[in-house]
Amino acid sequence: MADPIRVYLLDDHDVVREGLKFLLEQQEDIVVVGQSATATEATARIPAMRPDVAVLDARLPDGSGIEVCRAVRAVDPSINALILTSYDDDEALFAAIMAGASGYVLKEIRSSDLVTAVRHVASGRSLIDPAMTATVLERIRNGPETPDELAALTDQERILLGHIAEGLTNRQIAEQMFLAEKTVKNYVSSILAKLGLERRTQAAVLASKLLGGASR
C-alpha cells in the first residue's frame, strides 16, 4: 500500500480548518500532518513538516496563503500548494501562479471535488488552466515598456509603485497584492532607496508621471 498523502492546512478560522481536517482524514489515502491559523506560523512549520500538499487560505490577518506558498516553495519546491479562496479574480490567480501554486480553487468547491483536487496536486499535476498560465506569462513578457528611471526595480516593486501612485495605503496594497503589511513596508523602503527618494509622496508623483506616460 502506498504512503498516504501528507497534507498541511492553513486557515485562520478554526471551524474551517477542523472541517477540512475531518473531511480529508475520512480518506484512507490522506493524513493531515499539521495546521496553522497564521501565515507566520505556517511559513515556519510547513518546510519542517514536509507535506505533499499545503492547502492555503488566500487571505489571512497577517498575510496571505499566496505569500506563504512563495516562501515555502523557495525553501522546498517539492511541496505542492493548493490555494483556497473566497475571491475569484484575475489578480489573485496571477499572484498564485507567480508564487508557484499548483492549484487555485474557491471555497464553494464541493467536498468530493476538494479531495480530488488534493490528490491531483499531490501527484504533481496542476489544477490551473494552462491557458491562464500562458496569459500570465504573456503579460510578463509583453507588459508595458519600463521607463529607464524604473529599470532598477523588480516587477513586484513596479506593481507596488503603481499602487502607491493610486494613493493606496500599505494595508490596502497588502490586500491587493496578497502580501503581509510588513513586506509591503519593506518594499516601499527598497523602492525609495533605489529611486533616490526620501518620501512616499515623491514616489507617488514620480510614478504618476512615468507610469502614466508608459500606459498611454
pLDDT value, residue 178:
82
pLDDT value, residue 119:
95
- Encode 143-157: b = buried (16+ Cβ within 10 Å), e = exposed: eeeeeeebeebeeeb
Local confidence pLDDT in tens for the 216 residues of the chain: 679 999 999 999 999 999 999 999 999 999 999 999 999 999 999 999 999 999 999 888 888 898 899 999 999 999 999 999 877 666 677 778 878 899 888 888 899 999 999 999 999 998 876 666 666 666 655 555 556 677 888 888 888 888 888 888 898 888 888 888 899 999 999 999 998 888 888 888 888 777 654 443
pLDDT value, residue 137:
61
Residues 6+ apart with CB under 8 A from 115: 23, 24, 27, 30
pLDDT value, residue 102:
92
**Are 208 and 165 contacting, i.e. CB atoms less than 8 angstroms apart?**
yes
pLDDT value, residue 214:
45
pLDDT value, residue 29:
95
Q: How far apart are CA 57 and CA 9, in angstroms?
A: 8
Q: How far apart are CA 83 and CA 39, in angstroms?
A: 13
pLDDT value, residue 93:
77
**Are 9 and 42 contacting, i.e. CB atoms less than 8 angstroms apart?**
no
pLDDT value, residue 159:
86
pLDDT value, residue 48:
96
Q: How far apart are CA 64 and CA 71, in angstroms?
A: 11
Q: How far apart are CA 169 and CA 48, in angstroms?
A: 34
